[in-house]
């Protein structure tokens, strides 16, 4: 193995270890935070008229009378092997969340495929034409988009395209029996809402990262050699801004998985976010814990990917002295 790969490999391994440690700590917080909520889950299931004997029997059936640490270790061991336990409704949690997770990932994937190249392109154009009309227009538009919460954006999109123009349905209730075209047609408004929310962050940070790199001496040297400004941006500035851009992209992709709850609720989209809201309403603790763990794993995973890209793209690690 080349000696120059050792610092990169060691840092990547350490980042992966920190990622797993972070996920372990988050799992502790998730489990014990939900466990410490007031009230009896068994009583909530059986109703106010349940006898103490019935409540005790239900707690024994659900395993709620076991020590908290033992329940956590059992839950963590099952989650590590892909078994998230049984919901209080009597179904495996994977059966409850499997179709919902597929819907959320589909929505996030389509949005990401559109958003990432579009955001990088717009960010490069803003940096290339800094101070001109295009840059001012996009900077103002993205700043306005950042200032508006996603639920407000969702309702505005719904009012314009579903109520006024009647181009798309206001409810994104997709089913497996629908063909792909019908499903995509119903997903257009949630996708448009998510695009408006995440594009602003990615465009502004891409622009900032490229402008920061363009102030470097080697970029000035490229200009002095007579290279066109567009070539300077694409060949010299953009490759060296990959680290910061990747971090921003990863954070926004993590949002698509973990922060999509509001959009799913507004459009009644059958994803993990909607399933978590339903589970909170029904006090279905295993489903709540599983949803929170999925969101945390996605967020930590995308941040880990961003860290690894930043490490690999660092020239001081690629070419150590």
What pLDDT does residue 321 have? Answer: 52
Kindly give the confidence (pLDDT) of every residue in the chain, 321 residues in length, as a single tens digit, with 9 standing for 90 and above: 454 446 667 777 887 888 888 888 888 888 777 766 655 666 666 666 667 767 677 667 666 667 777 778 877 887 888 777 777 777 788 888 888 888 888 888 888 888 888 888 888 888 777 778 887 888 788 777 777 777 788 888 888 888 888 888 877 777 777 778 788 888 888 888 888 888 888 888 888 877 777 777 766 776 666 667 667 776 767 677 777 777 778 777 777 776 677 888 888 888 888 888 888 777 777 888 888 888 888 888 887 887 777 777 665 555 555
Helix axes 180-214, 93-128, angle to 10 degrees: 40
Going by C-alpha positions, the residue among 150, 117, 183 that lies closest to residue 273 is 150
Residues 288 and 279: beta-carbon distance below 8 Å: yes
What pLDDT does residue 312 have? Answer: 72
Rounded CA gap, 93 and 253, in Å?
A: 25
Rounded CA gap, 268 and 262, in Å?
A: 10
Please report, in angstroms and rounded to a whole number, the separation of the first and last CA atoms in the chain: 17
What pLDDT does residue 230 have? Answer: 67
Q: Which two tokens stand for residue 256?
A: 């698509």
Residues 205 and 248: beta-carbon distance below 8 Å: yes
Report the DSSP beta bridge partners of residue 86: 92
Domains of the chain from N-terminus onward: 102-284+291-303 (1.10.3720.10)
Segment 274-318, tens digit of pLDDT: 888 888 777 777 888 888 888 888 888 887 887 777 777 665 555
* 92 φ, ψ (degrees, to nearest 5): -60, 140
What pLDDT does residue 147 have? Answer: 76
SS3 of residue 40 by DSSP: coil
How many angstroms separate the Cα of 196 from the Cα of each of 20, 61, 190?
32, 47, 10
What pLDDT does residue 45 have? Answer: 65
The alpha helices in the chain, defined as continuous H runs, are: 5-35, 41-46, 52-62, 68-80, 93-128, 133-147, 150-157, 180-214, 217-224, 229-231, 238-240, 242-258, 261-266, 272-282, 285-312, 315-318
Which residue in this structure is represented by tokens 């567009």? 230
Asked whether the CA dihedral 194, 265, 37, 292 is positive or negative, the reply is negative
- List CB contacts of 285: < 8 A, sequence separation 6 or more: 34, 35, 41, 88, 279
Going by C-alpha positions, the residue among 66, 68, 87 that lies closest to residue 76 is 68
């Amino acid at each position: 193995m080349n000696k120059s790969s050792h610092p990169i490999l060691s840092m990547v391994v350490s980042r992966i270890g920190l990622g797993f440690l972070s996920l372990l700590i988050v799992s502790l917080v998730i489990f014990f935070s939900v466990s410490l909520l007031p009230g009896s889950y068994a009583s909530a299931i059986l109703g106010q008229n349940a006898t103490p004997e019935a409540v005790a029997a239900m707690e024994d059936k659900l395993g709620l009378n076991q020590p908290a640490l033992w329940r956590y270790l059992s839950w963590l061991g099952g989650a590590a092997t892909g078994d998230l336990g049984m919901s209080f409704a009597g179904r495996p949690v994977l059966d409850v969340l499997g179709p919902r997770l597929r819907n959320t990932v589909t929505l996030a994937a389509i949005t990401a495929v559109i958003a990432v190249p579009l955001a990088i392109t717009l960010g490069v154009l803003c940096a290339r034409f800094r101070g001109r009309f295009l840059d001012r227009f996009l900077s103002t538009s993205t700043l306005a988009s950042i200032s508006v919460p996603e639920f407000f954006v969702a309702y505005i999109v719904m009012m314009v395209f579903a109520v006024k123009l009647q181009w798309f349905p206001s409810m994104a209730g997709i089913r497996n029996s629908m063909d792909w075209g019908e499903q995509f047609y119903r997903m257009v408004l949630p996708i448009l809402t998510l695009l408006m929310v995440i594009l602003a962050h990615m465009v502004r940070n891409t622009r900032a990262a490229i402008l920061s790199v363009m102030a470097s001496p080697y970029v000035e040297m490229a200009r002095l050699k007579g290279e066109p400004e567009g070539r300077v941006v694409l060949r010299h500035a953009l490759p060296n801004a990959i680290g910061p851009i990747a971090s921003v992209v990863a954070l926004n992709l993590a949002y698509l998985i973990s922060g999509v709850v509001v959009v799913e609720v507004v459009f009644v989209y059958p994803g993990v976010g909607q399933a978590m809201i339903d589970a909170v309403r029904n006090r279905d603790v295993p489903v709540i814990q599983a949803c929170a763990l999925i969101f945390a794993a996605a967020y930590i995973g995308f941040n880990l990917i961003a860290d690894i890209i930043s490490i690999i793209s660092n020239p001081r690690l690629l070419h150590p002295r």
